[in-house]
Amino acid sequence: MLRLIVFGIIFSYYINTNAQVLSGFVYNQKNNPLEGVSIYFLNTNTGTTTEEDGSFVLYRAINQDTLLLFYPGIVTDTFILSKSQNFVKLILTEGITLNEVTISQNRSANHFSLLNPVNIETLNSSEFRKAACCSLAESFQTSNAVDLSFTSAVTGNREIQFLGLRGLYTQQLVENRPVFTGILSSVGYNLIPGTWLNQINILKGASSAIYGAQSMTGAINISLKKPDEDHRIYANAYADYHGRIESNLHLNKSWSKKSHSGLYLHGSQTSSNKDHNHDHFYDEPNQKRLNGLWRNTFYSKNWECQLNLQGILDQKSSGELKTNPNPYKVTQKLNHFNFSGNLGYLGFTNPDKSIGNIFDLAYSTLNNTYGEHKSVKANESRFMYQMLYTNIYQTGMHKLNMGPTLAINIASEELFSSEYKKINYKEIIPGLFAEYQFQYGEIENSELKKWIVILSQRIEQISTNTIFWSPRISTRFNFNTRWTGRISGGRGYRHYRIFSDHLNYLANNRIIDIADLPNYESSWNYGLNLVGKPLINNSEIEINLDAYITTFQKQLIFDLDDNRPEKQYISFYGLSGNSKTSHIGATIKIPIIKRISLKLGGKWINSKTNYYLGYRTQPFVPTWRALGSLDWESNNKIWSINITGHFVGKMRLPDKTYLPSQLSILYSETSKPFLHVQSQINYLKSNFEIYLGCENMTNYTQHHAIIDNKNTSSAYFETSEVYAPLNGIKPYIGIKWWLK
């Protein structure tokens, strides 16, 4: 592998020696960098997308002198270059459109950054069109970075796995603002509708602590559509074979050039009575959800402001079919209300200096019942404030971010079971952070820097007598304009919620045992990353290789192996010993021929933890995963097709030593590997789009997913051991319409 990488770097350098390197930055009229601007040479397939700081790099042939720039929903523009020009600073002006020139190259649906010092994979609206993407969780179906778990038949919640660990250890951000923490940590990825998404940045590793130390394995930073950039009216309707219907409506209004408002509405309902595996339990919950977001943006010469108000009402019911006179039922109710915003001052004489303020105020409740003898109630009030001061010195060589933070979380959880348990949480966390960035050297005679180092520090008082220090470092080195290497390391922590973090594992008759608990969870994360984009036959290939290790110092252990005859337990206790997860992943994107591209990915995961019964592999984490995704688009861009397959390898299942023989004969120590395939075809015309798709095309389903399903009062009754689809083949249809 090392020889192949070295050869690729040398070969990519060789084939580009006859090409001129063009680099630069793209700004708006306010001199703010623009991320996500598509840049192409006229009548070629040579293109790229700007980074977070507006930077880009391209190879330019001798006869290429016309640049095309496209920023979705705002501007399209052209720039003429002189023959010897190798660096540009471009300003995009609102309202410009192209009538004479057609951009024939698509903006990359997802790409890996060559220039950002942090390991980032970006997904944009083109990637979201490849699947139904009804929620944020379902938007990762064509990505190799984030793994999506399969829906529990009883709870219906889909979780993610990232770098081999549950999504609890991945910080969820909306436009740099931490969201859906606390009692919503395990369900938050289901609560953002897919049509609201503009872009997703997947940050691997604990590389920066600016927006919180909860990014123990990384962060997922979501950019939502803005009322001044989105369509005036946008509508979407969706329905599938399993009884799910969904509708979305966006209404945007520009009151002036400086003031804009948008109302984003989502409603969904699932009415299903399917029992595909004939275990007398519904394959998925019946559900009703209402989700609304009111967004407001304000701009002036020196100030930028954004205010958001969101409300979510969600209800689910599931369980045993009514053939039983006293069926086992599960009900779930979730309410969430949120007021958030930011205020930035840009009026300094030095345009590289700014001050930003972010705040978030939220209130959430959960009310779940599991059969007749178990229920969980939880509520949480949350406030977060952060100020961010930014200054750049010596033409970008030095950059400083710093500011104070304050988080207040007040929560309670109640468990009503054979034994009543109530846990109160009160977390008042003041803190300070500082991040220093140093840049040095030039990339092949451009003004882009060859070497960048980021030192990030965060100090917080996370309890009355505990000061937590989160040091982090990330460095990026460009071997040339086509290959980049990164190293990162850092420390993080999170406050857990015992019951809310494990809602998917409560629909059973296990006895809940709580022993010595840690005050918080903390870990170190280390990583290596190599990104290459060699240009072969005027087509760019993307290669991403990374390796990460996460080791815990403190961890809340959730143990399903601690069982005894006639008694099954869920044991919660603090880590004693080692807990380590290793992750190695690779992704390659290849343009096969014009309009057809292929993405291949794979990963190896080794996740082990010290349990009561010894040092064991964590359950429900496959050792091997693989991804294949094929895309085709017609010349006129009216038709597009995607087909994606996921291979999911074996994973360890919870210990069944004391399971009765008539039940244990149905189960093994590990799951069976399987292939999950989905496909979608899109028809795009003028201001509407129709899409048809199908999930689980192989019709693979897990059998005996519910243990002792015929005796719901048994000590062995268990519904949470889901590792594969429970639903069979699922065709769906959707339509989108918009008014620009």
Summarised one tens digit per residue, pLDDT across range 162-191 is 999 999 999 999 999 999 999 999 999 999
According to the model, what pLDDT value does residue 4 have? 42
Which residue did the predictor score with more confidence, 319 or 494?
Answer: 494
Is pLDDT of 158 > 60? Answer: yes
The CATH fold of domain 111-739? Maltoporin; Chain A (2.40.170)
Question: How far apart (Å, rounded) are the C-alpha atoms in residues 555 and 520?
Answer: 7
Is pLDDT of 269 > 60? Answer: yes
Highest averaged pLDDT of the listed ranges 114-123, 208-217, 400-409: 400-409
Model confidence band, residue 564 (pLDDT cutoffs 50, 70, 90): confident
Amino acid identity, position 201? N
Summarised one tens digit per residue, pLDDT across range 399-420 is 999 999 999 999 999 999 988 9
CA 200 centroid distance within chain: 7
Residue 318 and residue 330 in contact, taking contact as beta carbons nearer than 8 Å: yes
Q: What sign for the dihedral angle of Cα 30, 31, 33, 36?
A: positive
According to the model, what pLDDT value does residue 91 have? 77
**Phi-psi region for residue 99, left (φ > 0), alpha (ψ -120 to 50) or beta?**
alpha
According to the model, what pLDDT value does residue 105 have? 40
Is pLDDT of 121 > 70? Answer: yes
Q: What is the average pLDDT across 260-273?
A: 94
3-state secondary structure of 232: coil
Is pLDDT of 551 > 70? Answer: yes
Mean pLDDT over all residues of the chain?
A: 88
Model confidence band, residue 72 (pLDDT cutoffs 50, 70, 90): low
* C-alpha to C-alpha distances, 579 to 371, 497, 542, 562, 564, nearest whole angstrom: 34, 19, 33, 17, 24
Q: What is the average pLDDT across 613-635?
A: 95
Is pLDDT of 161 > 90? Answer: yes
Question: How far apart (Å, rounded) are the C-alpha atoms in residues 5 and 61?
Answer: 25
According to the model, what pLDDT value does residue 56 have? 80
Domains of the chain, residue spans = 19-104, 111-739
The CATH fold of domain 19-104? Immunoglobulin-like (2.60.40)
pLDDT-above-90 percentage for the chain = 60
pLDDT-above-70 percentage for the chain = 91
Residue 153 and residue 706 in contact, taking contact as beta carbons nearer than 8 Å: yes
Model confidence band, residue 10 (pLDDT cutoffs 50, 70, 90): very low
Is pLDDT of 450 > 90? Answer: no
Neighbours of 599 (CB within 10 A): 21
Q: What is the average pLDDT across 234-241?
A: 95
Rounded to the nearest 5°, which phi and psi values hold at 139?
-80, -5
Rounded to the nearest 5°, which phi and psi values hold at 61?
-75, 165
According to the model, what pLDDT value does residue 14 have? 44
According to the model, what pLDDT value does residue 148 have? 87
Model confidence band, residue 45 (pLDDT cutoffs 50, 70, 90): low
- DSSP one-letter string for 252-314: EEESSSSEEEEEEEEEEEE-----TT-SSB-SS-EEEEEEEEEEEEEE-SSEEEEEEEEEEEE
Model confidence band, residue 638 (pLDDT cutoffs 50, 70, 90): very high
Is pLDDT of 11 > 80? Answer: no
Summarised one tens digit per residue, pLDDT across range 421-433 is 999 999 999 999 9
According to the model, what pLDDT value does residue 106 have? 44
According to the model, what pLDDT value does residue 6 have? 46
Question: How far apart (Å, rounded) are the C-alpha atoms in residues 122 and 600?
Answer: 16
According to the model, what pLDDT value does residue 3 have? 45
Mean pLDDT lowest among 34-48, 112-126, 557-571: 34-48
> 80 is written with which tokens?
């003429």
What residues have CB less than 8 Å from 271, skipping those under 6 apart? 243, 286
Mean pLDDT lowest among 84-93, 140-149, 154-163, 253-262: 84-93
* C-alpha to C-alpha distances, 418 to 21, 372, 379, 415, 443, nearest whole angstrom: 70, 11, 22, 9, 66
Is pLDDT of 96 > 70? Answer: no
What's the burial of 622, exposed, middle or buried (CB within 10 Å: 0-12/13-18/19+)? buried
DSSP secondary structure code for residue 5 in this structure? H
pTM of the model as a whole: 0.89
Mean pLDDT lowest among 2-11, 29-38, 441-450: 2-11
Model confidence band, residue 25 (pLDDT cutoffs 50, 70, 90): confident
According to the model, what pLDDT value does residue 15 have? 43
Question: How far apart (Å, rounded) are the C-alpha atoms in residues 455 and 204?
Answer: 16
Model confidence band, residue 1 (pLDDT cutoffs 50, 70, 90): very low
3-state secondary structure of 396: coil
According to the model, what pLDDT value does residue 116 have? 86
According to the model, what pLDDT value does residue 310 have? 98
What's the burial of 464, exposed, middle or buried (CB within 10 Å: 0-12/13-18/19+)? exposed
Neighbouring-strand partners of residue 66:
80
Amino acid identity, position 187? V
